[in-house]
Structure 1
Amino acid sequence: MLTTLAIQNYRSLRDLVLPLSRLTVIVGANGTGKSSLYRALRLLADAGRNGAVAALAGEGGLPSTLWAGPESIGRAVREGRAPVRGVARKEPVGLRLGYSGDDFGYALDFGLPVPENTAFNLDPEYKRESVWHGPVLRSSALLADRSGSRVRIRDESGGWTDSGRSIALTDSMVSEFADPRRCPELLLVRERLRAWRFYDQFRTDAGSPARQSRIGTRTWALDHDGSDLAAALRTIQESAADVVLATAIDDAFPGSRVEVAATDGRFDLRFHQHGLLRPLSAAELSDGTLRYLLWAAALLSPRPPELLVLNEPETSLHPDLLPALAALITAAAKKTQVLVVSHSQLLVRFLEDASVLELEKDFGQTVVAGQGRLDRPAWHWPKR
């Protein structure tokens, strides 16, 4: 389980260190940085697939994503005796992301490239990457360390050996160097990052992929766009979780049930609703009903990931459906670690045993409400 998430200089997240529990809920007013935190976590996961640089480009490049305020805010500014103004930098420009758990930790440091004669001078570079054992980075706990294009790994004697190869400055060491014999921990970190699962506001309009009939295969994890909803529900029904799914449907829509008809490999969703003479197809379902079925398929996956991240799952759901949704989330948290970003205080009240972190703004930067310096989890960034 992840115990700490750290983000530095990503949009309004100038210096954020969050404690994570089995079920963590992130709340806050509009503009406090909830969406930025969600995107930062996705960016961290992209490193496992060597897609972080492309993801940053999709956000406008590294300069567009960096913290736009001053490096530090002095006492005079906080007391209103001086305006906010830029000061001489003491630290190099960098976007840093990392996490740690009881077993391993990982951190990366993106920076601007040294200008050269190329059209790609805005491509961010990995200035530093580190994988360590335990919840806090220490030099003695380092297992793999990357500075520039070279990677060094801890050998069996406890000393350091060079990996014997260089990697491009725009490539991640966890995606490009993961030798199961020389550094199995690096391979484990990569596979964990790749296994994180994200769901963000499913489409429920008339053209939604979830409303279409299609050929289905056994589906252990719902796709991010919900296109394999029928197959995912049928997989749940055939994997000894049919009673759990039936209960989740009845909790939300009393007297209703879901049927998945398979004809020549083509899967069709049929929703039997109390009081109707015929079942409704996916194309006929209301947006709220379809969205709830999508969340049920995502949260009841027979193969849950190590980390499941949900972004505003309450969107377009009637308040009457939130207790049933909360029950699904709570049940999922018993099998996997869950992080929920939510606007709904009502949903939060229904979530049992959740650790709630409220974000707020302080001179433009995102902070955790009530978190002092001594309340933050211990965290150290690898130095360049």
Structure 2
Amino acid sequence: MNQPILRLLATTNYKNLYLGPEAYLNQLNILIGSNGSGKSNFISCLKFLKDCLIATPDENRGVSSFEDAISKLGHDRVLDVNIESPAKVSLSYCFSHFSQTNNPRSVILDFKLYADKQKARVSISEEYLYSGENLRLASLWEPFYYYKLHETELGKGVLSVYDTPSQDTTHFEPLDKISTNSLGLLMIPQLLEDSQFPPENTPVYKIRRELIEFISKWQFYNANNMNLNLIRTVEPKIGGSDIYLSASGDNLPLVLENLSQNIDFEDSLNEAMKSILPKTRRIRPVRSGRLSLTVEWYFEDIKEAFYLNEMSDGTVRMLCWATILHSPLLPSLIVIDEPELGLHVSWMPILAEWIKKAATRTQIIITTHSPDLLDHFTDRLENVLCFYSENKTHFSVKSLSKEMLEPKLEEGWQLGDLYRVGDPSIGGWPW
């Protein structure tokens, strides 16, 4: 698979999460750890970046995407409570396999937030976009910088510009009037409008477009936020272009309608649901009235269709996960918090296989507290990230490995067994 992925995340002074050294991510990532160990804060870092790059209705009232995103993140409470305010919070994201001309490379977006609790203010104090494989190597030699913003003076920066039409070499040109209330990655086109440099004469032009397109397709789900009542009762209007399930799941019939144009998806979905309810014959979106959609569920030996309001909570949840994970049009990143909620234990191996299969086509991050689900990732220990604490105040991340757990695996332990008993190798217990 040679498509972009989020390769690492690093943080400093961010809430209770200390990712220095950085946390490396794979195609498939299973996050485990006790409640309060930083898993939600980790995911919030990813949501924050997407929110910074997505236009919001409040922009018409003078509220930028960044200001909206920082409000959702906790505003000045993003700063570690143990750090005296004001101080800087660092967030760094590395993306692999982005193309610049014909040369795939990794790109790092690195920025610092200035958090002042006394003034209830958070702004961007530094921002860099550069090529490199990881953050530590960047300190050993000078990487290629697409831009540096606010480095020496707030509101000012430099941008790489090609020297010649052949685009072999570059030099820095100054930028000014750079807002500290918007992410520079989003503002580049506006900044170039006020400069003498055509966008195509800058290396950032193409990579920026690819990066924003990639991040804007990230999708986040939390089983606690799936609104089963809405999923069962809301009948969305025909004609919408939705291909991704919403966070609440309320557009399920519309997503099924749009994805069912792909015959393979319909077959795949029906087979998936047969694995949990063997007598399933067909699931299909149908018109309800003239302009709305609902979902019919047919079973063998029963002529009449069933509707979602007649199905169990767990069954509806599994239909949502199947729709997300079997889609022919997967998001560039799927994040699911605790997908096991409300599901029968016998469905855990099925859910695990859906997750593993989808991870061969896109990047996936799952958080879980379910030993029963973890049992089925014993064969993927290198994909498990454990959140742990050295001092009970700050949490870091470590990757598991077969070598780390080999003695217990040889005794017949599964990953979920170790989680159940609070084995210190993998954490999971708050003491």
TM-score by length of 2: 0.73
1:115-194 alignment to 2 at 5 Å? Answer: 121-137=119-135, 138=138, 139-147=142-150, 148-156=154-162, 157-163=169-175, 165-178=176-189, 180-181=199-200, 182=202, 183-184=204-205, 185-194=207-216
Q: Say whether residues 1:327 and 2:353 are aligned partners.
A: yes
Shift of 1:300: 2.3
Q: CA deviation at 1:69?
A: 2.6
1:167 is displaced (CA, Å) by 2.5
Give how far 1:359 is off: 0.7
Whether the 8 Å contact between 2:23 and 2:398 is mirrored in structure 1 is no
1:187 Cα offset (Å): 2.9
In structure 2, the residue matched to 1:318 is 344
One-letter code of the match for 2:10?
Answer: A
Q: Which residue of 1 aligns with 2:417?
A: none
1:281 corresponds to 2:310: no
Change in 2 beyond 3 A, CA 1:196/1:205: closer
Give the drift of 1:368: 2.3
Mean Cα deviation higher: 309-318 or 21-30: 309-318
Output one character per residue of 1:234-254: Cα deviation in whole Å (capped at 9) or x when no partner.
333321322211111111211
Task: Call closer, same or farther: CA 1:199–1:210 in 2, change over 3 Å.
Answer: farther
Which residue among 94, 97, 101 is the counterpart of 1:100? 94
Structure 2 runs not aligned, ≥5 long: 55-63, 97-105, 163-168, 193-198, 401-431
Q: Structure 1: which 5+ residue stretches go unaligned? A: 71-88, 116-120, 372-384
Question: Aligned pair in 2 of structure 1 residues 203, 69: CA closer, same or farther (>3 Å)?
Answer: closer
Residues 202 and 226 in structure 1, CA contact (< 8 A), matched pair in contact too: no
Per-residue CA deviations over 1:21-44 (Å, capped at 9, x if unaligned) read 110111012221111111122112
Q: Give 1:184-263 correspondences, 5 Å limit.
A: 184=205, 185-201=207-223, 203=225, 207-216=229-238, 217-239=240-262, 240-256=264-280, 257-263=282-288
**Residue 68 of structure 2: SS of its match in structure 1?**
helix
Contact 1:259 1:271 in 2 (8 A): yes
Look up the match of 2:71: 57
Q: 1:234 to 1:32 in 2, by over 3 A?
A: same
Q: Is the 8 A contact 2:44 2:73 kept in 1?
A: no
- Aligned pair in 2 of structure 1 residues 335, 210: CA closer, same or farther (>3 Å)? farther
Asked if structure 1 preserves the Cα contact closer than 8 Å seen for 2:129 and 2:148, the reply is yes
- What amino acid maps onto 2:253 in structure 1? A
Q: Distance in 1 between matches of 2:12 and 2:186?
A: 22
Deviation for aligned residue 1:60: 4.2
Q: Deviations over 1:51-104 (max 9, x none)?
A: 343233245421x2221236xxxxxxxxxxxxxxxxxx7x97122212113321
Residues 210, 228 of structure 1: 8 Å contact kept: no
User: Displacement, 1:15?
Assistant: 3.4
Q: In 2 relative to 1, CA 10–210 (structure 1 residues): closer, same or farther, beyond 3 Å? A: farther
Instruction: Please show how residues 79-94 of structure 1 align to structure 2 within 5 Å.
Output: 93-94=87-88
What number of residue pairs does the alignment pair up?
Answer: 345
How many Å apart are 1:166 and its aligned residue? 1.6
Higher relative contact order (Cα pairs below 8 Å, separated by 6+ residues): 1
* Residue of structure 2 aligned with 1:361, choices 389, 409, 417: 389
What whole-Å deviation, never above 9, does each CA across 1:207-249 have from its counterpart, x for those lacking one?
3245312213343222222121012123333213222111111
- Aligned partners of 1:210, 1:150: CA distance in 2, in Å? 52
Paired-residue identity, %: 21
CA contact (8 A) 1:220 1:302 kept: no
Q: Which amino acid aligns with 2:147?
A: A
Give the deviation of 1:333 after TM superposition.
0.8
CA deviation after TM superposition for structure 1 residue 154, in Å: 1.0
Q: Which residue of 2 aligns with 1:20?
A: 25
| Closer/same/farther in 2, CA of residues 331 and 259 from structure 1, 3 Å limit | same
CA 1:214–1:202 in 2, change beyond 3 Å: closer, same or farther? farther
Find the aligned partners of 1:167 and 1:344 in 2 and give their Cα distance: 46
- Structure 1's 205 and 122: CA in aligned 2 closer, same or farther, altered over 3 A? closer
Secondary structure of residue in 2 paired with 1:167: coil
Tell whether the 8 Å contact from 1:97 to 1:108 is kept in structure 2 after alignment: yes
Q: Any idea what the Cα deviations from partners look like across 1:349-381, whole Å, max 9, x if unmatched? A: 32464600111222211122579xxxxxxxxxx
Q: 2:16, 2:131 → 1: CA distance?
A: 29
3-state secondary structure, aligned to 2:357: helix
User: Equivalent residue of 1:168, what SS?
Assistant: coil
Amino acid at match of 2:90: R
Q: What's the secondary structure of 1:24's corresponding residue?
A: strand
CA RMSD of aligned residues (A): 2.6
User: Could you say if the C-alpha distance between residues 320 and 144 of structure 1 is closer, same or farther in structure 2, counting changes exceeding 3 Å?
Assistant: same
- Which residue type is aligned with residue 47 of structure 1? C
